[in-house]
């Protein structure tokens, strides 16, 4: 995070998006800005757009 220009972890979804973009720029197009385990579904559900959650979708606070 510090190498990408951030002194602290993100506290909002906008900051999260900005941080991932900055890290992606730093590491280059052949690398990823985040590592998510593919054998667990919670990160994918938590970070997916609300529309993918169907009728249960509602704005969620950043955690």
Amino acid 55: pLDDT:
56
Distance, in Å, from the CA atom of 42 to the CA atom of 36, rounded to the nearest integer, reads: 10
CA torsion, ordered 26, 29, 35, 36, to nearest 10 deg: 140
Which stretches within the chain are classed as H helix?
13-27, 42-47
Distance, in Å, from the CA atom of 58 to the CA atom of 43, rounded to the nearest integer, reads: 17
Amino acid 12: pLDDT:
85
Distance, in Å, from the CA atom of 33 to the CA atom of 60, rounded to the nearest integer, reads: 23
Q: pLDDT of 15-55, one tens digit each?
A: 989 999 999 999 998 998 888 887 887 877 777 665 555 55
Amino acid 51: pLDDT:
58
Amino acid 57: pLDDT:
59
Question: Which range, of 2-6, 21-25, 28-32, 57-61, averages the lowest pLDDT?
Answer: 57-61
């Amino acid at each position: 995070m510090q190498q990408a220009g951030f002194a602290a972890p993100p506290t909002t979804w906008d900051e999260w998006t900005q941080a991932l973009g900055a890290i992606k720029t730093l590491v280059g197009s052949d690398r990823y800005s985040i590592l998510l385990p593919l054998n667990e579904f919670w990160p994918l559900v938590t970070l997916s757009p609300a529309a993918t959650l169907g009728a249960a979708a509602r704005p969620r606070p950043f955690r």
